Chain A
Amino acid sequence: MNGVSPRMLNDLFNAKLSTADGKEKLAAYGGSYIRDRLREVSFVRKILPPEQVTRTDCQRSVNHDTLVKIIDVEPKSRAMAITFRGQPTARFIRGEKAEIAFFTISSEIFQKTEQELLAYEMPITKVIEENSVKDIQEIEDREFVLHIEAACQALQTEANGGTPTALNYAGIAGSLVTEFSIRKGELARTAGNNTATVLPIQRTDIVNLFKLIDGNRLRCERLLMTEVDYDDILQWTVEDNGDRIQSETTVDGYKYNTLLGRPYIRTIKTDILRPGNIYAFTSPEFFGRFFVLNNTKFYIDKIANMITFQAWEDIGMGVINIASVRKLELYSGDANPTTDANTLLSNFIPKAEDELGAVNNRVEQGLKFPQVVSF
């Protein structure tokens, strides 16, 4: 498509939609492109690599027409020292099983009349692809963040005697809370008050986060953080980095794929993973699964002069071993959704679906400079 003007692409798009053959070709073109971009941009897919499944891999229900895939969980076993005459204890084998349910993530249904399409210079096919990919990948990540947060909170509640307990500066200072699956950063622990201010990450914080997983016969294999929190790593001093890394970082930024020996993933989606929240994960085989039942499908149609298009995928994802994800909080306020002791929760959790994709520019409000008025 290189060398073709955006306007020509729009015309081509319009023309092709008028024939059945053209619709198929456009759908195929859109479909293949979307699948590629989605794998590239979704952070959950870097943490839980998606596995393609088919209908035959899934289980139905006798009560309704939806699907799950049942995952076996490693059974318990142990060994023991015994005498020559003694016998080991017995274990009647039973392995836990967990269901991962499938659901759909869809783009909006985009609609535009053929005539209004003429008012655009931008290539509409490109816009379709980018919008669809963006919407779908954001919701994938949002669902994932909600699941891992729920996993961390569940273990944290368990460690506090089954009672949801506020985790904030005051709670830590008063020894009112046990930090088990969630830990406050060093600066948050000494903040002096309970606020939503995100404090810079310290090297100690990352090590302590590793320990939350490493101390349970698991190994932290991956970190997930926002670009904003990563930027604070660039502020680490020579005492943190040593001469060589400090020199490199000053000139080139931190250019390694690992941080203190562990791979990390950065995301710019700060409306989904909110700054100040850093998660640590084991490798996927200890953690959970991400299944793709139907790769992104692309529907496009033109009825009379109205062009309609939509993309969707059918996936299932689940955190099966909740001990395989831990969280670091770089702010002193409470982010427990049950207690919300400082009424600051909205600062820490993913924004609502309909708030995602906020527009940065202010053109709609007429804020562009220089102000030019056409008449």
Chain B
Amino acid sequence: MSTVMRVNFEPVRDVLPVQRADFPLADPTLADPMNAVALVDGEWMAVTNAYKIERGSTIGSVGAEATKRCYPLWAERGRYDVQAIANRKMPVLWLGAWEFDTRIFDATATVGSGAAITAQDQPVKVATITIGTRNYTGLVGHGGSGDTAFMVGFVTRLPAVNGGKLRLRGGMLY
């Protein structure tokens, strides 16, 4: 079981080549750090038809899979710069390959045709997970060829040998 901290999604490679794009939140109240389901860094966002971002999976339903392409949120909970902008924009990793450590994952969950996260190079997908007492849109293991969910990255370092964080590379799949 992962533990959510102040910083939950950190780069371990140069981020300069990665294009970070700001999108307005479809639900601006999620930028409020006191919101019970406030967004945290490392959650996965989908882009709406209005070119805003929303959680890629239904937050109230644990095990709900993302049905759209998702992008990782790179802004810690309650950041002032997010709250300062009238439309409440938040940045996602939009284009380019990256390698990050994340705490927003559930290695043991098996969602749909997925599998627990047990191996290096295993693909991961996005689903609603529970960490501690609340839900997040995070990562679970992808089931490989039998799983039709979007892959969003590959495990490069397992939590057991990475201080409890899941290291993955992504950005090349979407």
Chain A residues near B (Cβ < 8 Å): 61-64, 66-68, 99-104, 142-143, 146-147, 150, 316
Contacts and interface: CB of A to CB of B under 8 A. Distances in A.
In this complex, the member of A67, A101, A102, A143 whose beta carbon has the largest number of chain B beta carbons within 10 angstroms is A101
Nearest to B7: A64
A62 B33 CA distance: 13
Interface in B67-113: 76-87
Contacts of A147: 86
Interface string B1-20: 00000110000000000000
A102 B86 contact: no
A63 B81 contact: no
Contacts of B76: 63-64
A150 B83 CA distance: 14
Kindly list the 4 A-B residue pairs having the minimum CB-CB distance in the complex, ordered from nearest: A146-B86, A101-B84, A101-B80, A66-B80
9 contacts: A62-B6, A64-B7, A66-B79, A102-B81, A103-B81, A103-B82, A103-B85, A143-B85, A146-B86
Chain A binding surface SS class: mixed
Interface of B: 6-7, 33, 76-87
A150 B86 CA distance: 9
Contacts of A102: 80-81, 84
B83 A101 contact: yes
Given A101-B81, A102-B84, A143-B85, 9 more contacts: A63-B77, A64-B77, A64-B79, A64-B80, A99-B80, A102-B81, A103-B84, A104-B81, A147-B86
Contacts of B85: 103, 143
A104 to B, nearest CB: 7
A143 B86 CA distance: 6
B86 A61 contact: no
A67 B87 contact: no
